[in-house]
Each structure stands twice: as C-alpha cells, then as structure tokens.
Amino acid sequence: MSKSKQLIIIDEELCTGCGRCKDVCPVDAISGIHGEPHKIDSSRCIFCGQCVQTCSAYSSILDEPETPRADKLRERGMFQSTTEPLFAAYCAGDVFEISDALKSDKFTMVQCAPAVRVSIGEDFGMKAGSLTPGKMAAALRRLGFNKVYDTNFAADLTIMEEGNELLSRVKNNGTLPMFTSCCPAWVRYMELNYPDLLPHLSSCKSPQQMSGALFKTYGADINGKQRTEIYSVAVMPCTCKKFESARPEMSMEGHRDVDAVLTTRELAYMIREAGIDFESLPDEDFDKPLGTYSGAGNIFGVTGGVMEAALRTAYELVSGEPVPETDLIFVRGEEGFRIASMTMGEQTFKIAVVAGLTNVAPLLEKVRAGNAEVDFVEVMCCPSGCISGGGQPKVLLPTERDEVYRCRKESMYSHDKNSKIRKSHENPDVQKAYTEFLGEPLGHTSHKLLHTVFGKQDA
C-alpha cells in the first residue's frame, strides 16, 4: 500500500504556506509554519482531497520553476498535453497505468460513480452541473473499454444489502445505530479515530467495491471470461477511492476487485489526450446488466442520497407497501447534521444524515456514551456529499463553489426524477442478479462478495 501512502501530496516548490488547506482538513493532518511549505501526515490523512480542491497556490508561467513543468506533470501522473495550471496540493494520478491496460489484451470493464456524470462536462467548458451520463458512456467506449458499466447498479445493490442488514439488526438486537460504509474516507476516519465503534459500520462494501467484486465473478461469467483476464477500472469523484480499492481485503484470491481508479478530473485528461470532442458525443447507454440503475442508485452522489434511497426500499420491506411519496424531501438539505424519523408500518425509524466529517464527532461521542437515539446514520466526508469530492473538477474560485455544487446537486435529483425506475429494489437487473447469481440479500454469495470486515488501521 506504499502508493496509497503518497496519495495526497503538497508540492513544496509551489506551497506558499498560506494554511487554507490546513483550515479545510477535517482531521488535522496538515501542518506547517505560516509562510513555509506545509506537509501532510499520511498516517492521519483520510485522502478526502478537500485540500486539493481548496489550494490556490499555483505554478506561474511568470516565475522560473525549479522543476520544469514537464517533470511535474510526469510526477503527478498527468499527460504532457495537459494544459491546466498546476497547484501545490494534488492527488497522484493513474492515467498511465490505465492507458497501458487499455492497450493490453486485458478485458477492460469500467464503472462510473453517480457524481461524475453531473460534473465532468464542466472540465470541457460546459455549464455547472451539466448532466452527461450518455456522453460519458460514449467517451469511455471510445477510449477502448470493453464494457461500460455503472457504479449506480451496485448502489442499488448496496441498498438491497444495507437495507436488509439494518432490518436484521433491528430485529435481532444487533449493534445500532448502523452507519453507512460507502464513503471510504469516513470508514478510514472511524478506523483511525473510533476503532471501538467499528461494529456500528454496515458490513457492506461500498458500491465501487461491490461493482468490482461482481465484475470479476458475475460479469466474468456473462462475458465468458476468467477473473484473471479482467481489468476493472472505476471512475470516481473521490480521491480516497484509490486508497479503498488498494485495501488488501478488497480482493479475491490475490486479484483486486478494482484494479485502478480514475478521478473525474483524470477521466477528463484521458478524453482530451485521446482527442475526443466530449461535447459533440452522442448519448449512449451503459452496458447491461451491470450498468442498469434506478434513480435511487443515482442520488448516492449527494448528501442524504443513500438515506433517501434506503428509505424508499426499507419502507416497502417493512410495511409491504410502496412508499407513499418517492421524494423524501426531509432527508435532503445543506446542513452538516440533520435528523428525521420515518414511520413504516408499525415501526418508526430515527435517522441522521451527516455531511462533512467535522460534524460527526458529537454524534459519535453520544454513540459511545450509549445515548444516541438514532437507528441509521448516513455519513459522507465531503461537505455536499460526493458531488463535492476531492477528485471532482476543481472550481477555481471559492466564491463560485456553492453555486456550482448547487447545480451539480440539482442535476442529481433531476436525473432521479426523470428515471423510469426510482427504487433500488425495482431495478430489473438487480432482481435478475439475485435470481441468477447472488441468491438473496445477506445470503452466502452476497456475504462473500459484497460484505467485508473493517478493522483498525495501523497508520
């Protein structure tokens, strides 16, 4: 995991020591004297990349650089053709590795997280929050991926597993409250800072890892391939997803579930490098069955989305009736901490949504003290959920950031609203996957492929 240790880096030549990264770091992993280059303590860093989004110290063409731009680009894992300015804080990239895999005889499968389709257009000059799932699928196909699947499929699957896990915990007096485990920065935060509370985390792998595990089993079967022939790539709004995919437990028989992760920004580099005109691409569909998704799966990319998706399905599981209103407005919002309750049949569930890790500690202290009156909690590390992730297109000016995030969020919800299927359990290909391959939620195969045990990380 040596590579992951160097994931988020501050370029000493460019850092002016302004300390804005330090202010935005939710885990106090950045230190340095004002006016001198700052450093990241990798043993505390949760790789969320918010410092990358915030940093404005850039390499100016008016200054003579100590290290030439070409060398810096190579060091950062960026193509020489990349025109964007280089900032001090950055995430080490993987485009070279993935370009090589695309040229090899591997059978390449790619998945895209929900928050990528509402932001990638921005890096091609499109307006904030442009919704481009079809162009993204088309671009990935032109880049040479053999199968263009979607993380949203696994988001629906996560709801099936996580929803059933919650109900099982409630029924069997299991550990409550249960916390979501989709956000790898949040999981790492728990492991580093609250190891005693780890049983509260859902045992579900994140959608990225569920997809990866399915690609190399179910996906391999469907495509008549061996696990060893498949190279699995994920496109993510998140820098920590690179860390997550490299965790040793996220592999089977020595083969990683997800071989490599591209951030949204890196996918844009690849599209540019290949000379693809993104804006003029036609809308294409994701490949089936692992690219079929519901609106519920899509809203995973925004704060409150996992909770809303889960409640839409849980309501039906508990009461036997469809949820009266699909839009569960009460879990949406901007605040870093929100609580609500929902009655399903004869049961009332208390839920909480946390956006931004700086807002989670008070709740965790309550859980520790045994007086957190809540059953299910969604936690996302980034301030507005994945749409504001560390791997997303970098909004240059903080004065524009809120508006851009608002536009991305609006697109997430409108994509859900306009989906024919809006509940995870109604996704026909998820249903088919259970019938043909997985059996039942929390069953033997699900347990083996889709669940994991989170442990204390030795930093």
Partner 1 sequence: MSSSLNHFIAADPEKCIGCKLCEVACSQAHSSGPAFTAGALSAPILPRLYVVQTPEITIPVQCRHCEDAPCANCCPVSAISRKNGAIVVETKLCVGCKTCMLACPFGAIELLPVYKNGAPVMQAVLCENGETSMDEVPMLFAGKCDLCSDRKKGPACVEVCPEKALSLIDPSRMKRERNIKAAMSFLNTSQNFS
Tokens of 230: 């498949």
51 binds partner 1 (CB under 8 A): no
Q: What are phi and psi of 19, to 5 degrees?
A: 85, 5
Q: How far is CA 456 from CA 256, 358, 360, 379, 451, in A?
A: 20, 20, 19, 18, 17
CB of 174 to partner 1, least distance (A): 44
Nearer of residues 62 and 453 to partner 1, judged by Cβ: 62
Angle at Cα 159 formed by Cα 368 and Cα 313, nearest 5°? Answer: 105
Question: Does residue 41 interact with partner 1 by CB under 8 A?
Answer: no
Q: Contact letters (x/-) for partner 1, 396-415, by CB under 8 A?
A: xxxxx---x-----------
Could you give the 3-state DSSP secondary structure of residue 289? coil
80 binds partner 1 (CB under 8 A): no
- Give the span between the Cα atoms of 138 and 140, in whole angstroms: 6
Is residue 203 at the binding interface for partner 1, with CB under 8 A as the rule?
A: no
Candidates 260, 352, 386, 395; binder of partner 1 (CB under 8 A) is: 395
Task: Based on the residue annotation, tell me whether 59 is a catalytic residue of this protein.
Answer: no
What radius of gyration do the chain's Cα atoms show? Answer: 21
Contact code string over 84-123 relative to partner 1, x by CB under 8 A: xx-x----------------------------------xx
DSSP conformation letters of 19-53: -HHHHH-TT--EE--TTS--EE-TTT-----HHHH
Structure tokens at 415: 């994509």
57 binds partner 1 (CB under 8 A): yes
Residue 36 is a catalytic residue = no
What is the C-alpha separation between 383 and 357, in angstroms, rounded?
Answer: 8
244 is annotated as an active-site residue = yes
Site membership for partner 1, residue 146 (CB under 8 A): no
Does 386 participate in catalysis according to the annotation? yes
171 is catalytic: no
Q: Is the peptide bond before 177 cis (omega within 30 degrees of 0)?
A: yes
The DSSP output letter for 204 is B
Site string for partner 1, 342-381 (x = CB under 8 A): ----------------------------------------
Of the two residues 373 and 403, which places its CB atom closer to partner 1 in the complex? 403
C-beta of 126: minimal distance to partner 1 in Å?
A: 8
Q: Give residue 52's Cα distance to chain centre.
A: 16
User: Taking the complex as a whole, how short is the minimal distance between the CB of residue 73 and partner 1, in angstroms?
Assistant: 14
Q: Quick one: which of 379, 375, 301, 374 has its CA closest to 336?
A: 379
Q: In angstroms, what is the minimal distance from the CB of 65 to partner 1? A: 12
162 is catalytic: yes
Question: Residue with structure tokens 């409630």?
Answer: 170
Q: Which residues are catalytic?
A: 162, 165, 182, 202, 241, 244, 249, 386
The residue ranges that bind partner 1 (CB under 8 A) are 16-20, 34-35, 56-58, 60-62, 83-85, 87, 122-128, 265, 268-269, 393-400, 404
